[in-house]
Structures are given as structure tokens and as C-alpha cells.
Amino acid sequence: MTGPLSHIQVLDLSRVLAGPWASQNLADLGANVIKIERPIDGDDTRKWGPPYLKDRDGNDTSETAYNMAANRNKRSATIDLSKAEGALLVRKLALKSDILIENFRVGGAAKFRLGYDELAAENPGLIYCSITGFGQNGPYKDRGGYDFIIQAMGGLMSITGEPGDQGGGPQKVGLAVSDLFTGMYASVAILAAVTHRERTGEGQVIEVPMFESLVDYLMIEHLSGASFDPPIGEMGFARLLSSMRKPYETKDGYLSVLPYTDANWRDLFELAGREDLQDDPRFVDLSTRMRNSQEIYEILADIVSTRTCAEWQRDLDVAAIPAQIVKGKDDLLNDEQLAATGFWKFVEHPTEGGIRMTEPPVRYSKSSSSIRRLQPRLGEHSNDLLAEAGYSDEEIQAFFESGVSAQPN
């Protein structure tokens, strides 16, 4: 079964994560994604190791696990945009593409005659997705976008970790969420633009700034009192921001427990031998518990500390109270749910040996998303893509000799 985007060609000029993640989402849905990379070095993430993929003899290769995670189902061509011939070559590919994704700094693409206005003049149906740190306007527009910086500027670090008087102060999230949120927004926006084009024949430019993408997610729960003008309270959803809303230490580990309903709380108090709290006016319903969230979470921490993880998991499961022993990332490799759904995919790489990948997590009853090809080696498809663009063998060889392109390593 072909994917729903099998009729779409995507020219991916982006690098690192937000753009490649967006184009991989489209590639998983069947789009023909052409990834343009710099000769010799390629995408930055090709050097983000260890770990490096191993060859059949167990030796490190030049392929990193990081690059592999966001570049499957694509073809790679190396083209040097700093050379006039290279920029013209990419322009030719853009004029034959349905979608272009780029994450140059503001004005960067136009330097190579790859800006939207110039391309749309010849390819009016082009959907042009520009991913930036801060958009095309405003005082921050010329700054680069980096997840670590966006997490700091976007307020995420301020609500992550424990306050400075109780812990380590602001903390980053252990995942490049700014890039991933932005990439997913870009994927959705591109698909909406595809629908618009199918109805009207019109392409368009899409702007997806990392800063606003993160702040938009943050404000879903934390705009709070500032939702009103004038504000009627502080920003921040107190229940989520409580320093005691966290995994609690048991006798032998950590447990995340979430009594969700009034009945859950009454049953938990009974399990803990704290029936005196069942009718405590501070905790009788959701409204009173939210007003006294710090107190009830402190009590919950004390309760959880009295037993082992396994004891709590057993009893809370029987009582249908949501709870889970905190797992490490390594535990996910053997998780029974992920095994049952076929989430992990094991494949044999033609040069690197056996590798583990994640299957696309969305399943369709009529369409399909799938892994059709592994992440490409740097420039693996340069020859094929240049030939598809209409260049002769002699012209392609000249590109290789002049450094405009490069044959795969």
C-alpha cells in the first residue's frame, strides 16, 4: 500500500532537527523527500556521535544514531550552494518540487536565489516552509534558533525542575522539545497547505518560528490568570507547578502516582490506613484539592514512602488508581506494550549491520505510513537525483570533479 503523500515531492534544505523531523513525517507518509546536504560534511548531525553505527566487523562508521533518527525514507544528494552551479542545480530541483523546507537564518535562502518570491514566480504551486528561530519580523529575527536557548527564552526552563531553594533551579528538558514541537507544527501546516493547493491550485509560504511554537504549547496550561484582561490572577497552573507534583520516593525506587477522581483519593487513603483524610474538607473534591495542592502532595509523598515500588504497583493496580514505577529509557527496549504493538523495528543495514528503529506510531485503516528506506549515506543518491533532474553522465561527472556535488563516501 502506497502512502497518502506518494504523489508529493519534497525538497529538504534544512538541517539538524526541526526541519528534518518535519520532512521525515512527510516521508513516512510516502512523500518523495530529497535531502540536500553539503559535500564532505553533510548535515551537522552526521558528526553528532558517539554512538556511531557499527559495520559488520564492529567498527565505527561515519553514520550516527542521531542522524538516523530523523532522516529515514529520504534520498540524499550533496550540493555546494556556495558555488553558482550548485545554487542553480538546487533551484532546478525546487522548480520541480511540491514542497520546499528550509531553516536558513532570515534572508539566507534569498542569497542563493532560493527565496519564495523568486521560486513562486516560476512554480506558483510551491509550498514553501520556512523554519526559523524567531520568524521574519521583530527584534529577535536575526538570531539563530537553538533548542537550549529557546527553552530558556520560552519559559520552559523556569517551570522545569525544582525551585532554587529546594533543588537545582531552572532545568532543561532532556529532549529537544523546541525542535520537535516546531517540526510537528510545520508538518501540520504543510499538510493544510497541500489541501489548500488541491482546492485552489495556489501554493504559499509558511513561517514556523521555534520561539512562538514553544510559547504556544506553554500557554495552553500556564497562561492561566493572564488569560483575562486585566489579569485576574497569576500565570501558571498551580497544580502542575507544585514542587511536590513529582515522582515520589518509595523504599526502593520512585513511583509516579496520580489519584484522578474523588473515588481514587478515598481508595488511596484507605489503602494507606489514612481514613481520617477521606472526609477532610481540604481534600473532599477536585476544587478543594486544587486549592490545597501543595499540602495534599506532601501527604501523598509521605504515604508513598512507606512501601516498595512493587507493593504499591500491585495494590494501586487492583484499586484502579493510576500509578507507574518510573522507568529508565533502557527499560523501554523490553516494554511489553511496545513489543505487542510492533513499535520496535529491526532491520539489516546494507553496510552497517543490524539496527533498531521505531515504527511510525500512527496507524491507519486505509492509508499507510511505513519505513521504505533507511537513512541515506551522505550523497548516496547524488548521481540518481542529478540524472532525474535531466543532467547527462558527462555533466554529472563534471559536477563531481568541480566540487559542486560529491559521490557518496
pLDDT in tens, 165-184: 666 788 899 999 999 999 99
**Residues 313 and 346 placed together within one structural domain of the fold:** no
- 19 and 158 both lie in a single domain: yes
Domain membership of residue 266 as a residue range:
248-325
Could you say which of 325, 355, 371 is where a domain stops?
A: 325
Residue 409 lies in a domain: no
Q: Who's near 59: CB < 8 A, 6+ residues apart?
A: none
298 with 183, same domain? no
Look at residue 353 in the predicted model and tell me its pLDDT. Answer: 72
pLDDT of residue 317: 96
Domain assignment of residue 4, yes or no: no
Supply the pLDDT for residue 33: 98
Lowest model confidence (mean pLDDT) among 186-190, 321-325, 374-378: 374-378
- Weakest-pLDDT range from 33-37, 59-63, 223-227, 387-391: 59-63
Q: In the prediction, which pLDDT does 245 show?
A: 84
Single out the residue of 94, 89, 81, 83 nearest to residue 122, CA to CA. 94
Prior bond to 50 cis, omega within 30?
yes
Please provide residue 128's backbone torsions phi and psi, each rounded to the nearest 5 degrees.
Answer: -115, 110
Using pLDDT thresholds of 50, 70 and 90, give the confidence band for residue 44: very high
* CATH number of the domain residue 294 falls in: 3.30.1540.10
Residues 199 and 298 in one domain: no
- Note the pLDDT of residue 12: 98
Given a cut of 90, whether residue 321 has pLDDT beyond it is yes
Q: pLDDT value at position 241? A: 81
How far apart are the C-alpha atoms of 328 and 325, rounded to whole Å?
10
Looking at residue 240, its pLDDT comes to: 82
Cell of 405: 556535488
Quote the CA–CA distance of 111 and 105 in Å, as a whole number: 11
Say whether pLDDT at 327 is over 70.
yes
Q: How far is CA 163 from the centre of its chain?
A: 27
Cell representation of residue 261: 477522581
Which one-letter DSSP state was computed for residue 202? -
Please tell me the predicted confidence (pLDDT) of residue 200: 97
pLDDT tens-place string over residues 51-93: 888 777 778 877 888 898 899 999 999 999 999 999 999 999 9
- Average pLDDT of the residues of the chain: 92
Rounded to an integer, what distance in angstroms lies between the CA atom of residue 336 and that of residue 96? 45
Instruction: State residue 338's pLDDT score.
Output: 95
HSE-up of residue 57 (Cα within 13 Å, Cβ side): 3
Residue 269's pLDDT band, with cuts at 50, 70 and 90, is very high
Same domain flag for 276 and 346: no
Mean pLDDT, residues 370-385 = 91
User: Is 55 in the active site?
Assistant: no
pLDDT the model gives residue 52: 83
Q: Is the pLDDT of residue 207 over 80?
A: yes
Q: Where are the beta strands (DSSP E) in 79-217?
A: 99-102, 127-132, 204-209
Catalytic residue among 98, 147, 179, 267, which?
Answer: 179
Three-state SS across 278-313?
CCCCCCCCHHHHHHCHHHHHHHHHHHHCCCCHHHHH
The DSSP H or E segment spanning 170 is none
Residue written as grid cell 540536500: 36
- Answer yes or no: is 176 within a domain: yes
User: How many distinct structural domains can be found in the chain?
Assistant: 2
Q: Is residue 164 scored above 70 in pLDDT?
A: no
CB 44 within 8 A of CB 14: no
Residue 367 has pLDDT above 90, yes or no: no
Contact 142, 110 (CB under 8 A): no
Are residue 390 and residue 313 in the same domain, yes or no? no
Question: Is residue 360 scored above 90 in pLDDT?
Answer: no
- Average pLDDT (137-141) is 93
Residues in the chain: 409
